[in-house]
Amino acid sequence: MAQKPIRIALIDDQQMWLEALTALLSGMSEVEVAGVATGGRAGLELCLREKPDQVLLDLRMPDMDGLEVLERLLDRQPEARVVFLTAHDDPFFIQEGLAKGVKGYVLKGSSKEYLARAFQEVQAGHYFFDPPILARLVSLLVERPEAILKNNEGCPLTTREREVLSLIAEGKTTAGIADMLCIAVNTVDSHRKNIFSKLDVKNAVEAANKGRNLNCI
């Protein structure tokens, strides 16, 4: 009896990339595209509606990033299996994704064979890391084990707010943060206001200091 194909939902904010992924996966007998969505919010709705076997999810999207989609999806569907598709090996996203329940990381540009292997490993209940991601994770564990072990339970900020706060603490401007995170300037302003309100501070220096005390950064 032939094994049923793995139903995959594809979520990315770039339509051309979604089309390329769909074409790539259509040539793989072991998988079936359960649906595609442009952007995080539409992707979350797709997953809640279609309940795919796995989700191939872009990390950086302007309306709702991959970490927030992951968090909200697993809150509603704890059995969901999510694989991050990313162009970066940013240690922040590696750490946060693992803490929130991601099952794998695949770099954009990985081969068809690696994608197939990732889906098979995750479907079998294992984790899968593209080799450069695995190397970055091992390096992080060796160089900064405290970054992996840090407890964020006392921090009242969301994942995105912690990311913005980290950049504020580094002295980045609002425009610079918007450019780095691929979001609008007014979105950064909103995050900044929320951060200051939740931490009960009046400026960036106070926010950075209190954020460190609360393990937000």
How confident is the model over 111-145, as pLDDT tens digits?
888 888 999 999 999 999 988 888 877 776 776 65
Residues 76 and 123 in one domain: yes
Secondary structure (3-state) at 125: coil
> What is the C-alpha separation between 54 and 10, in angstroms, rounded?
9
- In this predicted structure, what is the pLDDT of residue 161? 84
pLDDT at 162: 85
pLDDT in tens, 67-85: 889 988 988 888 899 999 8
Nearest to 96, CA basis, from 62, 127, 115, 71: 71
DSSP E strands in the chain: the ranges are 6-12, 31-38, 54-58, 81-86, 104-107, 128-129
Output the six-digit token pair for 198: 């939740």
Task: Give me the domain span that covers residue 100.
Answer: 6-143
Residue 149 lies in a domain: no
C-alpha dihedral (72, 127, 37, 166), degrees to nearest 10: 60
Q: What is the pLDDT of residues 91-101, one digit of tens each?
A: 667 777 887 88
Q: In this predicted model, what pLDDT tens digit does every residue of 143-188 receive, in sequence order?
A: 665 555 454 557 888 777 888 999 999 999 999 998 888 778 888 8
Domain shared by 64 and 111, yes or no: yes
Same-domain check for residues 88 and 128: yes
- Which CATH number is 180's domain given? 1.10.10.10
Count how many domains the chain has: 2
Sequence-ordered list of residues with C-beta below 8 angstroms from that of 217, at least 6 positions apart, any chain: 162, 165, 166, 169, 208, 211
Compute the 3-state secondary structure of the chain and give helix, strand, coil in percent, each to the nearest 5.
55, 15, 30
For residue 187, tell me if it sits in a domain. yes
